[in-house]
Chain A
Amino acid sequence: MRDETWDDMTAVASREPVVGDAAIVAASVDEPEHFAALYGRYAGQLYRYAYRRVGAEHAEDVVADTFVAAFRRRDSYDTARPDARPWLFGIATKEIARWHRAEAARYRAFARSGAAPDDDGMADAVAAAVSARAAGPALAEALASLAPGDRDVLLLAAWGELTYEQIAGTLEIKIGTVRSRLHRARRIVRAHLRSRGWTEES
Chain B
Amino acid sequence: MDEMTMLRQAGTLLDPPTAGPPVALRRRVLDELEADTPSPAPTLRLVGSGDTHRAEGGGPGRERRPRRTWSGRNRLGAKVAIAAGVAAVTAGAIAIVPTVGDEPAASAEAVEILESAAAQSAQETPWEPRPDQFVYTRGVQRAGDEGEGPDGDYVQAMVTRTRESWKSVDAEHTGLVRGVTEPGQDPWDPAGGPWEEELEPCDGTWDACADIPAFPPGMPTDGDADVMLAFLRDTVEPYETSEGLPADHPDQAVFDQVVWLLENGGMPPEIEAGLLGAVARIPGVTEAGEITDVAGRPGVGVGLTSTRGARTDIIIDPTTDEFLGTRSDYPGAPEPSGWALLESGVVDAAGDTP
Question: Given contacts A39-B26, A39-B29, A51-B16, are A7 and B11 in contact (CB under 8 A)?
Answer: no
Type the 1/0 row for A65-90, where 1 means its CB is closer than 8 Å to any CB of B. Answer: 00110011000000000000000000
8 Å CB contact of B11 from A43, A52, A68:
A52
Contacts of B245 in A (CB 8 A): none
Q: Is the pair B59, A3 in contact by a Cβ cutoff of 8 Å?
A: yes
Question: Given contacts A7-B45, A51-B14, A126-B13, are A15 and B8 in contact (CB under 8 A)?
Answer: no
Question: Given contacts A14-B320, A48-B15, A116-B13, are A63 and B29 in contact (CB under 8 A)?
Answer: yes
Q: Is the pair A131, B6 in contact by a Cβ cutoff of 8 Å?
A: yes
Contacts of A202 in B (CB 8 A): 1
Residues of A in contact with B, size category: 35 or more
CB of B147 within 8 A of chain A?
A: no
Contacts of A32 in B (CB 8 A): 33, 37, 40-41
Contacts of B9 in A (CB 8 A): 128-129, 131-132
A154 — nearest CB in chain B belongs to which residue? B7
8 Å CB contact of A190 from B3, B28, B43:
B3
Contacts of A35 in B (CB 8 A): 33
Contacts of A96 in B (CB 8 A): none
8 Å CB contact of B13 from A5, A59, A64, A123:
A123
| Chain B contact residue count (CB 8 A cutoff) | 46
B98-106, B115-123, B137-145, B284-292 - interface stretch: B115-123
Q: Which B122-153 residues have a C-beta within 8 angstroms of A?
A: 123
Question: Given contacts A39-B26, A52-B15, are A131 and B33 in contact (CB under 8 A)?
Answer: no
Q: Is the pair A5, B123 in contact by a Cβ cutoff of 8 Å?
A: yes
CB of B322 within 8 A of chain A?
A: yes
A49 — nearest CB in chain B belongs to which residue? B11
Contacts of A68 in B (CB 8 A): 29, 32-33, 36
CB of A21 within 8 A of chain B?
A: no
How near does chain A come to B242, taking the closest CB pair, in angstroms? 40
Bound Cα distance from A121 to B292, whole angstroms: 19
CB of A10 within 8 A of chain B?
A: yes
CB of B244 within 8 A of chain A?
A: no
A161 — nearest CB in chain B belongs to which residue? B8
Question: Given contacts A11-B320, A63-B25, A68-B36, are A135 and B60 in contact (CB under 8 A)?
Answer: no
Contacts of B40 in A (CB 8 A): 32
Contacts of A59 in B (CB 8 A): 16
Type the 1/0 row for A166-187, where 1 means its CB is closer than 8 Å to any CB of B. Answer: 0000000000000000000010
Q: Is the pair B11, A110 in contact by a Cβ cutoff of 8 Å?
A: no
B residues at A contact (CB < 8 Å): 1-4, 6-17, 19-22, 25-26, 28-30, 32-34, 36-37, 40-41, 43-45, 47, 59-60, 116, 119-120, 123, 319-322
A residues at B contact (CB < 8 Å): 2-3, 5-8, 10-11, 14-15, 31-33, 35-36, 39-40, 43-44, 47-48, 51-53, 56, 59-60, 63-64, 67-68, 71-72, 106, 110, 115-116, 119, 122-123, 126, 128-129, 131-133, 135-136, 139-140, 154, 157-159, 186, 189-190, 193, 200, 202
